[in-house]
Structure 1
Amino acid sequence: MGQDVLVTVKGTRRDADSPPETIEVVSPGTYYCKNNTYYIIYRETALTGMDDTTTTIKSDGRTVTVIRNGSVSMRQVFEPGQSHRSVYQTGFSSMETVICPWQIEVDLTEHGGSIKLEYELVLAGVPAGTNSLEITVKKLLPASKS
């Protein structure tokens, strides 16, 4: 079920005390639409510090939910005008997170597309800066036959 895609995730974190920090990861993944909701599924890498974790991103065009299961467990909901609390769980500890989005752009079709999120992150009650997340989904081209 689903089509093979290349998922690019570019995250940038900003706070008042240091320059912006950007991480970009490109991973193979799976992409499909079910009941008017798009699903992007890929495995995290050691670069993100979440190896052995599967990430599922789902969007109905208005709300975006990021779910991680594995060495890290969490569920972040990005909904216009709403803050959402969740728990970020690792094998060592857990911490409450709050997502306060101010920009959510979803441009997904059956061929792929992009999601752009801008939000404030609060960790354990302490503001942790502003973040942007850009997710791009592109179909993998079939290998040419030689």
Structure 2
Amino acid sequence: MTKEVLIHLKGMQTTDDPHGSDEPLELITVGEYYYRNNTHYLLYEEQMEGLDEPIHNLVKIRPGHMEVRKKGPVQTNMVFETEKQNMACYQTPYGPIQMDITTTGVNLGEEEELLEIKTEYVLGMNGQKVADCQMHIRVTPKGSKETTFFRA
């Protein structure tokens, strides 16, 4: 895999609220990829609506484990470990949000020019379930001819 990559992120939150929206959130961005000490690293920036500064993201991935660190106007360190619950504080310009993340699976698929991570977890706040969540990350070399977002 090359250093310069195209990162496709797709997240879905499903709530028990019949009036809630279950629309996926998608982001496609250019980033950097590294592989060191049996760990995949992704670095990228994202611009959130309503914020002037970008958020700097670092994602660390290895089998059964993913860590997402955000720095800038939004800060957090979220850890996803298969069959474990972890706490995270999501610091926003509007105040902190305390979350608990119970990960049911972190699946890593690796090919020569493709890295695909599928993470499933339950998001909670104050000891109460908020949503069942899925996060899919697909990484390909920048300029790749691959156009399929996620394989079935």
Q: Same fold per TM (> 0.5)?
A: yes
**When the two structures are superposed, what TM-score results if normalisation uses the length of structure 1?**
0.87
The aligned runs of 1:1-146 (5 Å cut-off) are 3-17=3-17, 18-46=20-48, 52-109=54-111, 111-141=113-143
C-alpha offsets along residues 105-133 of structure 1, whole Å, 9 cap, x if unaligned? Answer: 01135633110011110134432111110
RMSD: 2.1
C-alpha distance in 1, partners of 2:53/2:10? 17
| C-alpha spacing 1:129/1:87, structure 2 compared with 1 (3 Å) | same
1:109–1:48 Cα change, 3 Å:
farther
Q: TM-score, normalised by structure 2?
A: 0.83
Cα distance in structure 1, aligned partners of 2:90 and 2:35: 27
Task: Out of 121-130 and 77-86, give the one that drifted further.
Answer: 121-130
Q: Which stretch of structure 1 is more off in the superposition, 55-64 or 102-111? A: 102-111
> Aligned pairs, how many?
141
Amino acid at match of 1:122: G
Within 1, Cα distance between the matches of 2:52 and 2:100?
Answer: 20
Give the distance between the partners of 1:120 and 1:130, measured in 2 at CA: 5
Post-superposition offset of 1:51: 5.4
Contact 1:9 1:25 (C-alpha < 8 Å) held by counterparts: yes
Greater share of strand residues, 1 or 2?
1
Unaligned runs of 5+ in 2: 145-152
1:75–1:55 Cα change, 3 Å:
same
Superposed CA deviations along residues 20-71 of structure 1, whole A, max 9, x for unmatched, are 1211110000001011110011111235979510111101222110111111
Given the superposition, is the C-alpha separation of residues 57 and 29 from structure 1 closer, same or farther in structure 2, using an over 3 Å criterion? Answer: same
Structure 2 CA distance for aligned equivalents of residues 54 and 67 of structure 1: 8
Question: Structure 1 stretch 43-52 or stretch 122-131: which is displaced more?
Answer: 43-52
Q: Is the 8 A contact 2:48 2:55 kept in 1?
A: no
Contact 1:33 1:39 in 2 (8 A): yes
List gaps (5 residues or longer) in structure 1.
none
